[in-house]
Amino acid sequence: MNRFLIRTNESKDPGLKVTASIEDFLVSRGKVVAVESLDDAKIYGKEISAVFEEGERPDAVIVLGGDGTMLRSARDFVEEGVPLLGINLGGLGYLAEVDKDGIFPALERLCEGDFFIEERMMLEGSIIRGKAPVNRALALNDISVLKSQPFRAINFDVYVNGQFLKAYSADGVVISTPTGSTGYNLSAGGPIVEPGAELLVLTPVCPHTMNSRSIILSAEDEVLIEIRDAKNGGEQLAFAMSDGASHFELKTGDGFVMRRSDKRTRIIKLNRESFLEVLKTKMS
């Protein structure tokens, strides 16, 4: 690898000191380096895929920040298939391969080609309004359909492959990939899944019932969430979010359909430690 883009979350790297040290390290080894600084508005804003000019496509993107920056980068660079190396400057950082104290040994291995690339499944979804799909969301972690109004549950139906599954009254529902199982899905009480698995996890958020649990679905399944009328017959308002960022308004009669994307995120891995070892470290 000779061409690198360093993408950094400026709120996690004040003064871009870590960014500059990584740039200096790579340049000293004869690498071509570009730097892009992101603020929270960009990280959690609407999706705008990155497009490189001819001859400027990097061999890898080094992502500095937390999981939010990695998720944004996964959506931006998936079309070009550029692999990502995450360096965690935030909290738990499940998606980041490298902690702050291991940056330069990791970069040395990257320059020497001592790594492998792991591919992760992604989700895609779109609003169904008037029987026609509108908008499109892409997610590495999850797509959630949630209530818009505080202190009110929403009523919605869930269909899998066109077959009615269940009617819910809840704060919402999370459809997660294995990678995203340690995100919102985990907070909502869903199971942790090995990230290399191929499946979907459906987890209701604060369901108003005693017997609602997560449901594990095939990666080939298509899930439709359909917003119903309110209990008084009035209109309900909700919204869908992909990876906690892109935001799509929904109302009674709308549906949001989700399926596995044919796109895959490529993540650079330097260590072959098991997922259980990583999980133990992150959760301790």
Catalytic residue of the set 24, 40, 59, 67: 67
Q: Respond yes or no: is residue 13 known to be catalytic.
A: no
281: enclosing H helix or E strand: helix 275-283
* CA separation for the pair 35, 138 (Å, rounded): 25
* CA separation for the pair 154, 231 (Å, rounded): 9
Q: Please answer whether residues 171 and 212 qualify as being in contact, where contact means their C-beta atoms are separated by less than 8 angstroms.
A: no
Q: How crowded is residue 90: how many other Cβ atoms within 10 Å of its Cβ?
A: 18
Q: How crowded is residue 53: how many other Cβ atoms within 10 Å of its Cβ?
A: 6
Of 32, 37, 34, 33, nearest to 12 by C-alpha is: 37
Burial label, 47 (beta-carbon count in 10 A; 0-12, 13-18, 19+): middle
Tokens 């009110």 — which residue?
152
Catalytic center residues = 67
